[in-house]
Structure 1
Amino acid sequence: MKGRLVIFLIITITFSLLVGCTADDGDEKLYSVLVVQNGDDKTDEMITEEIDVSSGKFHEIKFLTSLEEVKEQRPQVEIEQVPAVLIFETGGGEFKKLEFKTYEMEEAVAKLKELSN
């Protein structure tokens, strides 16, 4: 009986230590990227080259080809011109908080590189 109690205590302490030492991923931000482009430009290639999908920081990358398509699919999103890149903090779900918006592809690429690291 005493041996079982000792084993139980050792297992409990070991489990407690393992749980206490695991990294807390609750602070890790996830992002969704919305790219609105002209049908004939290469914005999609520029953006996808810069996103490190293996980083696990990007929940979704969506490409739309017109302002009308944006109004249809994401009426809450306000953009004035194309191309546009919007980055939302998502927490793994739907678009929540607009983190970054630009109409300049160089700015978008720089921000995506920053977020990928």
Structure 2
Amino acid sequence: LRLISEKDREINPEKLYSNLFSEYSFKETMNPNAKGRKILNPYIQNYRTCFMQILFHFYNEKNFTKAKFVLEQMDKLIPENLYPYRSEKTKQKIDEFRKEMESKE
């Protein structure tokens, strides 16, 4: 299975979810003393984009429990204090989702 189907260019949510939570290892991203942290920076935005795609998917499907879980895991696995958002607009969008998730509880 592909993360994005060639035919319709949409994500494969099941595969992306599986990869994020079963296949990928984020142990270095959570280590503030990691020697290669600067090397990881370009990849972090790609990981964050994956989290955001699956977050938006679950949100649009009204699966707020999974959307909240994805948001919490993104915050845990890619801590903002170690890897600040490069785009203020992206940060604002995530903060809006965070508030929205709180209202769904």
Q: Is TM > 0.5 for Structure 1 vs Structure 2?
A: no
Mark the structure with the bigger radius of gyration: 1
Choose between structure 1 and 2 for higher RCO, CA contacts under 8 A separated by at least 6 residues.
1
What TM-score results when the alignment is normalised by the length of structure 1? Answer: 0.22
The structure with more helix, counted as a fraction of residues: 2
The structure with more strand, counted as a fraction of residues: 1
What TM-score results when the alignment is normalised by the length of structure 2? Answer: 0.24
